[in-house]
Chains A and B, each alone.
Chain A
């Protein structure tokens, strides 16, 4: 007695595989294979011009441990990330709360704050590079109120701040929209009950709003932290890592080593380090959600 091969269960299984196939093939080709290749390259000395590809084992990792410039790159990366995350999230939340009111003009301001998100990053940054010049638009504005502005992109103390602000203004609208959506999902009856109980606006914000939108805070913080670790175009256009090495963040340092200095193997090793840092921070944030994310759907 023969049994039918294409049983209903097998058809369902095949259908399931077919549905996930495009995503799976894409992930394998464009995520897992490049990841594997980068790790493979990090074990080699690859001289593109001389066309040599030599296995060196852990030498690049030893060089990583001995690299005196790496600490500067990590400090710059940490400074950029911390500044960006704090400024971006707090400003986005503030804007979302302000624009969550039923007042005239809120739609206009939502559009204004969101519009930089859809502008080309490089074009945006080039415009800002002119505005931030010593004789540029920002200092021109400051001059009208009697302030002699600094040479933003040439000062070791101001260059990184300028890059952070440019990035915050560019992307704060995205987090603002996410926060707005989350705020509009908070049940109104919670605020009504709190008002009846005599809770102040501040207490309502801390005890109702923040816990209720905590999943969105987690999401935006992960996106912003990961994005901040991958900043490149802004640095390349605005400062090229300078002055000195004050804005040479890890990705820019990686780019210099691999594509400018032709140390492709070492550049791959820096990529592995960056991947490990991003993975670690994401896992830490994900684990921390148990403590501070109020609910997850």
Chain B
């Protein structure tokens, strides 16, 4: 009997503690402040730069005794971040992927930044490109700073392409023939000649389908309408784009099929579509390479952008200090430093000369064509409120497409059937 009472009391106490941890706003601390920021990069050069900026901030703000950068693996980044928040161990600041932007921005999880940025000395918020910030705004307020606005381009192993007797993409661009038809033809020929993969849509792996927006945007296709309510997968532009892609994979053998991996940066593919920030992987490349814009689609030239935002979490113990650090971290001087790795949203820094200083591996014309032109005209990868659930539904419904005998139109109709209820939420 006594044991039963003790157990009941312990359980009730723990429940009460659990609930207390779930809610309750705390007064802002006035003592020493320690900030933690989650990032998905564990690159030593990145972390060194972040720590330099943090040291400068601490020197100006003695109350802030520590700024800790906490790398979380990219593959599980958003899930881990959400779990930390659920466990009452959320960071003060966090990098956010574009596909989770609507969830974080619209939920009220982030501190509105306009006032803090407006008060920050020399910040010049008007310098931020409106096209780069639009995804991170709600009700006219900015909730995260898009610290990396990185267009997708095509990295080319010119040695492989030349060995296959093909014109390089640079030559095709010069001849105004850099189209998707030509791109897959070069990829297929390279693959056949070299015994390596042709064109790899990096990180797609027949699961992360949003990376295919780097292809289908050339056909004018979109995953859903601008208001997020209408499914775009069963529309003709998407059917045409996916039919082209399906043929390129299963008939032309221009792309490695499902269940086959090939790393361009390890010399296993002739071309890859990825963001320019991957150029650092080519520092010690043993092959000739080039970076060119995405091929022209039936709808003409286009660009696709991947974004990452930096936000201060409202639930943090020192949300005001976190927002202040964010303003310092992203001021013009520090943005120029960060531009070494992350294309900035600041119009004043988006010049080939500025970017060339911090991206020595890329030529000024590559930076102009792929980065600057891409940012000014590009569309951001698909993002939607409840993106994770939609992404999973699309992934499962798209799986039947990745077979040689797939009926593209039927499969894409099935995708819309699967996600229409989620888009309507």
Q: A residues touching B (Cβ–Cβ < 8 Å)? A: 28-29, 32-33, 36-37, 40, 46-51, 53, 133-136, 151-154, 240-245, 256, 259-262, 264
Min C-beta distance of A110 to chain B, whole Å: 34
Residue B163 at the A interface, CB < 8 A? Answer: no
Min C-beta distance of A17 to chain B, whole Å: 9
Decide yes or no: A243 and B399 within 8 Å by CB, A32-B11, A134-B260, A154-B258 being known contacts: yes
Decide yes or no: A260 and B388 within 8 Å by CB, A133-B259, A134-B258 being known contacts: yes
The answer to whether B386 and A261 have CB atoms under 8 Å apart is: yes
**Of B82-90, B125-133, B237-245, B288-296, the one touching chain A:** B82-90
Main secondary structure of the interface of B (DSSP, over half): helix
Residue B396 at the A interface, CB < 8 A? Answer: yes
Min C-beta distance of B196 to chain A, whole Å: 12
The answer to whether B10 and A33 have CB atoms under 8 Å apart is: yes
Q: Within 8 Å CB of A152, what residues of B?
A: 259
Chain A CB count within 10 A is highest, among B18, B19, B85, B396, for B396
The answer to whether A49 and B259 have CB atoms under 8 Å apart is: no
CA distance in complex: A29, B207 (Å): 39
Residue B22 at the A interface, CB < 8 A? Answer: yes
CA distance in complex: A151, B257 (Å): 10
The answer to whether B11 and A244 have CB atoms under 8 Å apart is: no
Q: Within 8 Å CB of B259, what residues of A?
A: 133-136, 151-154
Residue B206 at the A interface, CB < 8 A? Answer: yes
Residue B389 at the A interface, CB < 8 A? Answer: yes
Q: Which single residue of chain B is at the shortest CB-CB distance from A239?
A: B207
CA distance in complex: A264, B22 (Å): 13
A40, A134, A240, A264: the one within 8 Å of B207 (CB) = A240
Per-residue CB contact flags for chain B residues 85-107 toward chain A (1 = under 8 Å, else 0) read 11000000000000000011001
The answer to whether B82 and A29 have CB atoms under 8 Å apart is: no
CA distance in complex: A117, B247 (Å): 44
The 9 closest A-B pairs by CB, nearest first: A134-B259, A49-B107, A243-B399, A33-B14, A49-B109, A261-B389, A50-B107, A48-B86, A151-B259
Min C-beta distance of B14 to chain A, whole Å: 4
The answer to whether A154 and B206 have CB atoms under 8 Å apart is: yes
The answer to whether A259 and B258 have CB atoms under 8 Å apart is: no
Min C-beta distance of A44 to chain B, whole Å: 9
Q: Within 8 Å CB of B396, what residues of A?
A: 241-245
Q: Within 8 Å CB of A264, what residues of B?
A: 86
The answer to whether B402 and A36 have CB atoms under 8 Å apart is: no
CA distance in complex: A151, B388 (Å): 26
A37, A47, A53, A151: the one within 8 Å of B14 (CB) = A37
The answer to whether A242 and B402 have CB atoms under 8 Å apart is: no
B19, B82, B314, B399: the one within 8 Å of A48 (CB) = B82
The answer to whether A262 and B104 have CB atoms under 8 Å apart is: no
Decide yes or no: A151 and B10 within 8 Å by CB, A37-B18, A51-B109, A244-B396 being known contacts: no
Q: Within 8 Å CB of B82, what residues of A?
A: 48-49, 259, 262
| Interface of chain B residues 1 through 24 with chain A (CB within 8 A) | 7, 10-11, 14-15, 18-19, 22-23
Q: Within 8 Å CB of B389, what residues of A?
A: 260-261
Residue B315 at the A interface, CB < 8 A? Answer: yes
Q: B residues touching A (Cβ–Cβ < 8 Å)? A: 7, 10-11, 14-15, 18-19, 22-23, 79, 82-83, 85-86, 103-104, 107-109, 206-207, 257-261, 314-315, 386, 388-389, 392, 395-397, 399-400, 402
Decide yes or no: A151 and B258 within 8 Å by CB, A29-B14, A242-B207, A260-B388 being known contacts: yes
Decide yes or no: A51 and B260 within 8 Å by CB, A33-B15, A36-B15 being known contacts: no
Q: Within 8 Å CB of A48, what residues of B?
A: 82, 85-86
Q: Which single residue of chain A is at the shortest CB-CB distance from B14?
A: A33
Min C-beta distance of B25 to chain A, whole Å: 9
Min C-beta distance of A241 to chain B, whole Å: 7
CA distance in complex: A151, B85 (Å): 39
B83, B257, B400: the one within 8 Å of A244 (CB) = B400
Min C-beta distance of A282 to chain B, whole Å: 22
Q: Which single residue of chain A is at the shortest CB-CB distance from B390?
A: A261
The answer to whether B392 and A260 have CB atoms under 8 Å apart is: yes
Min C-beta distance of B401 to chain A, whole Å: 10
CA distance in complex: A51, B83 (Å): 13
CA distance in complex: A256, B386 (Å): 12
Decide yes or no: A49 and B79 within 8 Å by CB, A33-B15, A240-B207, A261-B389 being known contacts: no
Decide yes or no: A135 and B260 within 8 Å by CB, A48-B85, A154-B402, A242-B396 being known contacts: yes
Q: Which single residue of chain B is at the shortest CB-CB distance from A240?
A: B207
Chain B CB count within 10 A is highest, among A152, A242, A256, for A242
CA distance in complex: A161, B82 (Å): 32
Q: Which single residue of chain B is at the shortest CB-CB distance from A248?
A: B396
CA distance in complex: A32, B399 (Å): 41
